[in-house]
């Protein structure tokens, strides 16, 4: 039967664990009654493990959180479009932290909450904190599904941060020529299509030879970078492409004419480095915005200008 005792102003629990071994566990109980309640709770938990109703924790505590995250990167993230970003974010914010050094059985909702609070004090935005929380949650869920970790996902008890919604902003019609003129010639067709067709950079990079119909001035969006889009998205995306690009945008025609001359199966992402990295077009656009004396927009908010410009020009 579980018992409690006090030593050096601290309460200890004496309970038999799931393997049948007596353990002495310190706790933060302030009174003997609280210590006894904790001991009874642990006793019931360990009894369920001895009876086979709950899984026993691994001898090493499941490894450290850093090992779990590295396993998730190597097993689930590798090969995905976002792998480089996953590696960069986890290396920068998580893998070197005190939380990452803990065994999985010691990674509690309280410790995760303290970790996120510390990151918040370092200046990370609520959306970034939600991203970090999401990485931890996905790693634990993947480990549970594959049998690598038998416990509960502690992240499920950590609340998401509230992200303030900012009013939308977009390029005005008079700003478009200035932004395009501020870009190097090799980037102008790509960004003109992004603005007038409302495509994301991944969708632009995924356009292939068979997706270009110059006679009908139509692009079919079927991929994001080298990843096929879900079938539920493909049909609607076909109609929101190049019909709205002004005929005067001859550079777009040249650009997509070059794409149409590529071998079957080639995409913009692999064509002479049209989009050489996920971040480079974003930096180019930000520089062009500054050169055009415009400010306050997020780098790829140009995509949201498409519908607004079309409505103002009475395309719809």
Do residues 280 and 199 both lie within one domain?
Answer: yes
3-state secondary structure the chain: CCEEEEECCEEEEEEECCCCCEEEEECCCCCHHHHHHHHHHHHHHHHHHHCCCCCCCCCCCCCEHHHHHHHHHHHHHCCCCCHHHHHHHHHHHCCCCCHHHCEHHHCCHHHHHHHHHHHHHCCCCHHHHHHHHHHHHHHHHHHHHHCCCCCCCHHHHCCCCCCCCCCCCCCCCCCHHHHHHCCCCCCHHHHHHHHHHCCCHHHHHCCEHHHEECCCCEECCCEECCEECCCCCHHHHHCCCHHHCCCCCHHHHHHHHHHHCCCCCCEHHHCCCCCCCCCHHHHHHHHHHHHCCCCCCCCCHHHHHHHHHHHHCCCC
43 token code pair: 């006793």
Q: What is the pLDDT of residue 61?
A: 59
Q: What is the pLDDT of residues 218-232, one digit of tens each?
A: 777 777 777 777 655
> Average of pLDDT values for 3-22?
89
Do residues 128 and 183 both lie within one domain?
Answer: no
The answer to the question of residue 56 being in a domain is no
6 token code pair: 């006090």
Do residues 27 and 97 both lie within one domain?
Answer: no
Q: Which long-range contacts (CB under 8 A, 24 or more apart) does 83-88 make?
A: 84/278, 85/278, 86/135
Q: What is the pLDDT of residues 144-173, one digit of tens each?
A: 999 888 888 999 999 999 998 877 667 777
How many domains does one find in the chain?
A: 3
Do residues 305 and 180 both lie within one domain?
Answer: yes
pTM score, whole prediction:
0.61
Do residues 29 and 96 both lie within one domain?
Answer: no
* Domain interval for residue 20: 3-50
Give the residue among 183, 189, 193, 171 at the shortest CA–CA distance from 309.
171
**Tokens 């990370």 identify what position?**
124
The answer to the question of residue 171 being in a domain is no
The answer to the question of residue 12 being in a domain is yes
Q: What is the pLDDT of residue 169?
A: 67
The answer to the question of residue 240 being in a domain is yes
Q: What is the pLDDT of residue 225?
A: 74
Q: What is the pLDDT of residues 179-238, one digit of tens each?
A: 778 878 877 777 777 777 777 777 777 777 777 777 777 777 777 777 777 655 544 344
Partners of residue 13 on adjacent β-strands: 4, 25
Partners of residue 253 on adjacent β-strands: none
């Amino acid at each position: 039967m579980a018992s409690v005792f006090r030593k050096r102003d601290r309460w200890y629990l004496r309970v038999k664990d799931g393997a049948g071994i007596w353990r002495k566990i310190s706790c933060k109980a302030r009174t003997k009654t609280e210590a006894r309640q904790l001991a009874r709770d642990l006793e019931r938990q360990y009894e369920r493990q001895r009876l086979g109703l709950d899984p026993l924790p691994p001898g090493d505590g499941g490894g450290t959180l850093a090992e779990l995250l590295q396993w998730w990167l190597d097993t689930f993230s590798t090969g995905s479009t976002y792998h480089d970003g996953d590696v960069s974010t986890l290396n920068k914010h998580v893998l070197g932290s005190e939380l990452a050094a803990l065994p999985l059985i010691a990674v509690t909702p309280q410790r995760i909450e303290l970790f996120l609070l510390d990151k918040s004090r370092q200046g990370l935005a609520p959306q970034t904190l939600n991203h970090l929380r999401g990485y931890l949650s996905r790693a634990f869920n993947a480990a549970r599904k594959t049998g690598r970790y038998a416990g509960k996902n502690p992240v499920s008890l950590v609340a998401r941060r509230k992200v303030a919604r900012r009013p939308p902003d977009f390029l005005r019609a008079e700003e478009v020529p200035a932004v395009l003129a501020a870009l190097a010639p090799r980037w102008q067709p790509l960004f003109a299509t992004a603005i007038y067709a409302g495509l994301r950079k991944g969708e632009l990079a995924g356009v292939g030879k068979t997706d270009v119909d110059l006679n009908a001035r139509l692009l079919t969006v079927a991929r994001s970078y080298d990843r096929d889009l879900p079938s539920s998205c493909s049909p609607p995306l076909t109609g929101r492409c190049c019909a709205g690009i002004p005929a005067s945008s001859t550079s777009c025609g040249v650009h997509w004419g070059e794409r149409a001359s590529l071998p079957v199966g080639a995409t913009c992402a692999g064509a002479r480095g049209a989009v050489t990295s996920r971040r480079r077009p974003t930096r180019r656009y930000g520089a062009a915005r500054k050169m055009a004396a415009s400010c306050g927009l997020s780098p790829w908010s140009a995509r949201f200008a498409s519908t607004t410009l079309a409505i103002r020009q009475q395309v719809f």
